[in-house]
Amino acid sequence: MRYENKLFHGKTLAILSGGGDTPAINSSIEAIRNRASLLGFKVYGILQGWKGLLGDGDVVDLTNQPYDGYYGGTALRSSRTNPFPSKKNPESRVPQVLRNFERYKIDVLVTIGGDDTNGAAKRLFETEGIPVIGFPKTIDNDLRTRTIHTFQGKDIEAVLCPGFPSAARSMMEFTASIKTTAESHSRIIVMEVMGRDAGWLTGTCTFGGGSLGLIPEFDITRERKEVFFETVKEAYMHSKKKCLVIPVSEGIRWYDEKTGKVDVVYASSEVDEYGHPRFGGVSGIVASEISSKLGIEARAQISGYYPRAGHCRHYDRRLTSTLADKVVDLLLREEYGQMPVMKRIVPNVELEEFNTTSIDMGAVGNKPLSEDYYDISRFSFTDAYSDFLGNILGKPEYDDFRYDFPVVIP
């Protein structure tokens, strides 16, 4: 009865989440579900990404159900299933997806994902006419959302993806904690951070007291490596407490003296259905080379899944609500194949629907950190990057116990 006069009464909208999770996916699902319900849609959740549309399907009803949008991860669960043929799985599973679309009588599909999940959805829209709307997500923050950041009068192409703000806060806090143990032992700690292709998340460690940084955008060749060691030595010697936390992206390409090549460090030889390998372990190599080259004690800390873990933070909560408001606009206009994005990098009070727009959701592509944000000659993040982060995180947050005890002379 409640829904009879509503615009989309009798229609069904389904939501799925694919790819690596983030702390903001449940918040996105809740925000989209609430708005779609108000428009009159029945709202379904498809379990485990595209996998939930294979075989007999795995679909749940989210309409009028309690939902905890603060809870991290995704209650719809996730997978890296690709319905299109891939090297790992050459058979097309698109007919299964189409059959389930019919069986469950789905009218619109919202896909929460990165380039892979949303790229597959866009292909389904173009080749099969399935009405889809994309919703961005990644802690790596490398989906090209075309969000403009204005710094000192210059417009810089930045990125703002749900999931990144929560992950950024976690990495800021984690770095601030690690700093105290680095201080106690006068050590360098090399902090490895997720980021296969881009250093957006790695840079967030600077807000927790991290110094310098290595990112996948710039190869560390043999020559660059020498300069890097010199820079580390200088930064260590100038540090008040003789310690450093150096953030390093998992996907950096580092010169290997044994092979004479610049390459990434793989965690496993497996690739997923979109052809992505798994990286991991480069921090151990960087730390041991710092120790042997500079004679300074260095250790590695892999932050691993920590930035993906835990609850949705305040900025992400508002960001997901705002982008879900734009989904309403797209639904009302029946504009499919689109993805809502923020037009500008703004502090959280300005996260409002009038600051959004939408872009083509297919092959959005990867947006590396530009030279506006990272200075390769100093291996460090720039003031423009701090300003970008300041919009999202506010001020850097780390404790600093500035002791200066008088020395006792016997």
**Residues at the contact surface with ligand F6P, assessed by CB under 6 A:** 19-20, 138-140, 194-196, 278-279
CA–CA distances in Å: residue 255 to residues 28, 48, 202, 218, 223: 40, 38, 20, 12, 9
User: Tokens 């993040």 appear where?
Assistant: 381
Is the CB of 255 or the CB of 279 nearer to ligand F6P?
Answer: 279
**Three-state secondary structure call for residue 174:** helix
**Sign of the torsion formed by the C-alpha atoms of 72, 76, 79 and 81:** negative
Six-digit token string for 280 = 């991991």
Q: Are 302 and 192 in contact (CB under 8 A)?
A: yes
User: Tokens 């030889």 appear where?
Assistant: 269
How far is it, in rounded angstroms, from Cα 273 to Cα 116?
10
Q: Are 171 and 268 in contact (CB under 8 A)?
A: no
Is the CB of 19 or the CB of 165 nearer to ligand F6P?
Answer: 19
- The DSSP code for 87 is S
The CB-of-204 to ligand F6P minimum distance in angstroms stands at 13
404: left (phi over 0), alpha (psi -120 to 50) or beta: beta
Amino acid symbol at 250: E
Amino acid symbol at 127: T
Please report how many Cα atoms fall inside a 13 Å half-sphere around the Cα of residue 146, on the Cβ side. Answer: 12
Is the CB of 8 or the CB of 279 nearer to ligand F6P?
Answer: 279
Six-digit token string for 135 = 């919703």
How far is it, in rounded angstroms, from Cα 270 to Cα 274?
11
User: Tokens 């872009």 appear where?
Assistant: 359
Is the CB of 19 or the CB of 362 nearer to ligand F6P?
Answer: 19
- What are the residues facing 108 on neighbouring strands? 13
Is the CB of 13 or the CB of 369 nearer to ligand F6P?
Answer: 369
Instruction: Provide Rg for the chain, Cα atoms.
Output: 23
How far is it, in rounded angstroms, from Cα 232 to Cα 171?
21
The CB-of-134 to ligand F6P minimum distance in angstroms stands at 16
- How many residues does this entry show for the chain? 410
- Catalytic residue of the set 21, 115, 116, 140: 140
Q: Are 170 and 306 in contact (CB under 8 A)?
A: yes
Residue nearest ligand F6P by beta-carbon distance: 20
The CB-of-235 to ligand F6P minimum distance in angstroms stands at 26
400 carries an active-site annotation: no
**Three-state secondary structure call for residue 400:** coil
Is the CB of 106 or the CB of 121 nearer to ligand F6P?
Answer: 121
* Percent helix, percent strand, percent coil in the chain, to nearest 5: 35, 20, 45
Six-digit token string for 129 = 């006419």
Q: Are 15 and 26 in contact (CB under 8 A)?
A: no
The CB-of-308 to ligand F6P minimum distance in angstroms stands at 6
Bridge-based pairing of strands 108-113 and 132-136 is: parallel
- Enzyme catalytic residues: 140
